[in-house]
Structure 1
Amino acid sequence: MTAVARPVVAPPEPWAFPPSTTHDLPNGLRLVTYDVPGQYVLSVRLGLPVSLRDEPREREGVASIMARTLDEGTERHTAEEFARLLERKGVSFGAGMADAGLSIDLDVVKGNVEPALDLLRQILTEPAFPQPEVARQVRTRIAEIEQERSVASHRAGLEFVRTFYAPGDRSSRPTAGTRETVSAISRDDVAAFHARHVVAAGTTMVVAGDLEGLDVRALVEGALGEWASGPSHRDRFLTHAAALAPDRGRIVLVSRPGSVQTELVVGAPGPDRSVEGGWAPYPVLGFVLGGSPNARVDAVLREEKGYTYGIRSSFRPRRRGGVFLTSGSVRADSTAESLRLLLEILESGREGFSDKEIRSGVDFISKTAPGRYATADTIADEAVGMALDGRTTDFTTTNLRDLATVDRARVEAAYARFADGAGVGASGPGSGWTVVMVGDAAAHLAAVEALGIGDVTVVTDA
């Protein structure tokens, strides 16, 4: 028998984000295109630097209501007619408001891109905002608010931002508004917000897919060249940093009598992508601490103790600053012990990391990148996300290349920079962390206080 040599598996070649072409249109719209051969459903994304801080205080949520009603009829079509036009041309449309800005998504088969862009033009430049549709979306949002209060994970998130950010900062309140502010929103409020803020200047439009045979710039100029320029808020938008609450390092327990689980959210100030030493170590750090089923948190709380189905940690950058968040639910009878262990694990970074841990994080993030960005929609999503952060996808490529150089020393330096900046562990367990818990206060308050990690504030929903 002839022996056959085992093939040698070579390491993958360095991967780069697909190349792009950029065009700046006269009205201030920036067009970025990605030719992705074989992807015949084109993904069109718009990122508008609209800030939640631009909403009137007494009408917070108006940006979200506006986003939800953009396609609910135009000057020439009723809501029903416009919905049929979108369906007839095979257009999938969506829009939403977040801290990063206003995002508009459109997917269409290549052969219908021209009529789809005309429909997009109508959405952007001549939405009707019919009063019945605005009222319907207001009612829907109010129903959502009630649902968010009933779901433990949502309730914990609401209490976290209220505790973590300064009371006067927009970030401390729900993105889509509260019952009081949403109830006051009228059709005129929505139309006025649109007229002032949905403008071409400062907007980035991304088109990704198989572009062979298409003059995308000509098509976009033909459809959106007359879109009003307006004042760009990009510079002010990109330089704002959310104000943090001076007393954010505390424990808040939202009372939910009889709950069989306790929802935990633990957070601290984190970096943005411009952080000293580079951004690359921070996704690795989040992965090692709690970013996977094999991370430190789940190794103890799920595998060893059986307290949870899973808890996840991640660094979430904003345009300036960011937050490190860990969240998940645990068995009610393990509440205090789970919190103690969780804080110990999160603070264990001061004791260092192993080469094996670091390599697992680097390999996962870097080697899954080609799969994550294999389709036109994910390429367009990443591009518009980077644009709203004041960057291009060159950053994505550069960061992945830098990731290959991340080692234990860089991750430990990144943890020290994060922990020192956030005041984590500076004065004993729990110091510097914002902790929000949703569970049975009567059953857990004494045990949590006995941990000695800080005073506990109990919040009771009316």
Structure 2
Amino acid sequence: MTDVARPVVAPPAPWDFPVAQTHDLPNGLRLLTYDVPGQYVLSLRLGLPISLRDEPREREGVATIMARSLDEGTERWSAEEFARLLERKGVSFGAGMADSGLSLDLDVVKGNLEPALDLLRQILTEPAFPQTEVARQVRTRLAEIDQERAVPSARAGLEFVRTFYAAQDRSSRPTGGSRDTVAQITRDDVTQFHADHVVAAGVTMVVAGDLAGLDVPALVDSALGGWSSGGRERDRHLDRPATLAADRSRIVLVSRPGSVQTELVVGAPGPDRSVEGGWAPYPVLGFVLGGSPTARIDAVLREEKGYTYGIRSSFRPRRAGGLFLTSGSVRSDSTPESLHLLVEILGSGSEGFSDKEIRSGVDFISKTAPGRYATADAIADEAVSMALDGRTTEFVTSNLRDLRTVDAARVDAAYARFAERAGIGAGPRPGAGWTIALVGDAEAHLDAISALGLGDVTVVRDEHA
């Protein structure tokens, strides 16, 4: 029998994020176009650098109500008529407000780009904000607030930000506003917020898809060139890091008597993408600790103990500063031990990481990138996300190249910098530096959680819980 040499599989060549063509309009709008041959549904994304801090304190949530009401009729069309126009032209539209800014998403078949841009112009410059539709969006948001307080994962998230951020900082309160602030929002508030902030200056627009035969810059200039640039420079709220609570290193337990699961959120201050030593090690660090079913957390809490279906960790950078967050649910009867093990595993980074762990993280993040960014919508989403972060997609390419050089030494150094700045493990108790929010049966677990010595424990009892 003749032996056949096994073929050698060469490592994949470095991959670059697609390069955009950039066009700046006189009104301050920047257009980025990505030609993706064969993808005939075009993805349009707009990122407006509006901050949640732009909202009046007593009307928090107005940006969310405004975003949801943008396509509820224009100066020419009623809400129902405009909905039919979107449907007739094959346009899918959505808008939402987040910490990073206001995002608008529009997808349309290639042949209808020109009418779709006209509909977008009306959404941006001629929204009617009918009283009945604004009132409906307010009622919907109020119902969501009740839902958020009822769902354990959402409730834990709300309690975490309330504990982690200083009370005077906007980040400590829900993105969509609270019951007291949303209930006061009127059509006049929405109209005024739109007039003040939905302007062209500083906006990034992305168009991705098969652009052959289309003069996209000319079409966009024709549709949006008359959009007002705004009467003032945009405030740089997005460049200012959030203020953290001085007493954030503690445990808050939201009481849910009889809960069969406990929801956990454990977090600490994290870096932004400008961090010393480069951003590349941090996604790997998050992946190794809790970014996959084979990560350290699930290896113990899921595979060995059977306490959870899965718990995930990740670094979440903002334009300035960031957050390291771990969240998931565990069996109620395992709550104290699960919390103890979770904090222990998160702190195990101080002991270093193996070459095998690092290679698995580097390979997953770098080698799946071509697949993650294979479609027009993924390209457009990433491009507008980078723009709202004050970057271009050149960062994606350079970071992927840097990622290939990441080794255990760099990840160990990244963890050390993160732990030192967050105060993790500092002082006499293992829970130092971590903010911990739990939703579960307080009566059953309070004493055992307190005995762990991870920090002061506060119990919160919701009405009607």
Q: In 2, distance between residues paired with 1:398 and 1:232?
A: 34
Q: Match of 1:441, as an amino acid? A: A
Q: Which residue of 1 aligns with 2:207?
A: 207
Q: Which residue of 1 aligns with 2:236?
A: 236
Q: Give the secondary-structure state (helix, strand or coil) at the position aligned to 2:425.
A: coil
Q: In 2, distance between residues paired with 1:443 and 1:206?
A: 52
Could you tell me whether the CA contact under 8 Å between 1:238 and 1:390 is conserved in 2?
A: no
Q: In 2, distance between residues paired with 1:240 and 1:65?
A: 24
Q: In 2, distance between residues paired with 1:25 and 1:374?
A: 28
Q: Which residue of 1 aligns with 2:128?
A: 128
Q: Which residue of 1 aligns with 2:99?
A: 99
Q: Which residue of 2 aligns with 1:80?
A: 80
Mapping of residues 251-262 of structure 1, within 5 Å: 251-262=251-262
Q: Which residue of 2 aligns with 1:14?
A: 14
Q: Match of 2:89, as an amino acid? A: K
Mapping of residues 294-309 of structure 1, within 5 Å: 294-309=294-309
Q: Match of 1:433, as an amino acid? A: W
CA shift digits 1:128-185 (9 cap, x unpaired): 0000000000000000000111100000000000000000000000000011100000
Q: Give the secondary-structure state (helix, strand or coil) at the position aligned to 1:17.
A: coil
Q: Which residue of 1 aligns with 2:389?
A: 389
Q: Which residue of 2 aligns with 1:371?
A: 371
Q: Give the secondary-structure state (helix, strand or coil) at the position aligned to 2:127.
A: coil
Could you tell me whether the CA contact under 8 Å between 1:208 and 1:376 is conserved in 2?
A: yes
Q: Say if 1:79 and 1:448 are closer, same or farther in 2 by CA, change over 3 A.
A: same
Q: Which residue of 1 aligns with 2:380?
A: 380
Q: Match of 2:387, as an amino acid? A: A
Q: In 1, distance between residues paired with 2:8 and 2:347?
A: 41
Query: Shift of the alpha carbon at 1:454?
Result: 1.6
Could you tell me whether the CA contact under 8 Å between 1:271 and 1:317 is conserved in 2?
A: yes
Q: Which residue of 1 aligns with 2:438?
A: 437
Q: Match of 1:158, as an amino acid? A: L
Q: TM-score, normalised by structure 2?
A: 0.98
Could you tell me whether the CA contact under 8 Å between 2:100 and 2:238 is conserved in 1?
A: no
Q: TM-score, normalised by structure 1?
A: 0.99
Q: In 1, distance between residues paired with 2:399 and 2:380?
A: 18
Mapping of residues 14-413 of structure 1, within 5 Å: 14-231=14-231, 234=234, 236-413=236-413
CA shift digits 1:248-285 (9 cap, x unpaired): 00000000000000000000000000000000000000
Q: In 1, distance between residues paired with 2:244 and 2:233?
A: 23
Q: In 1, distance between residues paired with 2:11 and 2:210?
A: 29
Q: In 2, distance between residues paired with 1:235 and 1:459?
A: 36
Q: Which residue of 2 aligns with 1:454?
A: 455
Q: In 2, distance between residues paired with 1:328 and 1:7?
A: 43
Query: Shift of the alpha carbon at 1:239?
Result: 1.8
Q: In 1, distance between residues paired with 2:36 and 2:233?
A: 31
Q: Match of 1:447, as an amino acid? A: A
Query: Shift of the alpha carbon at 1:7?
Result: 2.4
Q: In 1, distance between residues paired with 2:313 and 2:135?
A: 38
Q: Give the secondary-structure state (helix, strand or coil) at the position aligned to 1:26.
A: coil
Q: In 2, distance between residues paired with 1:317 and 1:239?
A: 12
Q: In 2, distance between residues paired with 1:303 and 1:77?
A: 57
Q: Match of 1:279, as an amino acid? A: W
Q: In 2, distance between residues paired with 1:339 and 1:234?
A: 43
Aligned-residue CA RMSD (Å) = 0.9
Q: Give the secondary-structure state (helix, strand or coil) at the position aligned to 2:426.
A: coil
Q: Match of 1:325, as an amino acid? A: L
Q: Say if 1:234 and 1:290 are closer, same or farther in 2 by CA, change over 3 A.
A: farther
Q: In 2, distance between residues paired with 1:235 and 1:360?
A: 42
Q: Match of 1:458, as an amino acid? A: V
Query: Shift of the alpha carbon at 1:9?
Result: 1.3
Gaps in structure 2 of 5+ consecutive residues: none
Q: Say if 1:311 and 1:191 are closer, same or farther in 2 by CA, change over 3 A.
A: same
Q: Give the secondary-structure state (helix, strand or coil) at the position aligned to 2:288.
A: helix
Query: Shift of the alpha carbon at 1:8?
Result: 2.0
Percent pairwise identity: 82
Q: Match of 1:252, as an amino acid? A: V
Q: Say if 1:399 and 1:92 are closer, same or farther in 2 by CA, change over 3 A.
A: same
Query: Shift of the alpha carbon at 1:452?
Result: 1.4
Query: Shift of the alpha carbon at 1:6?
Result: 2.8
Q: In 1, distance between residues paired with 2:354 and 2:232?
A: 47
Query: Shift of the alpha carbon at 1:3?
Result: 4.8
Q: In 1, distance between residues paired with 2:411 and 2:343?
A: 19
Query: Shift of the alpha carbon at 1:10?
Result: 1.2
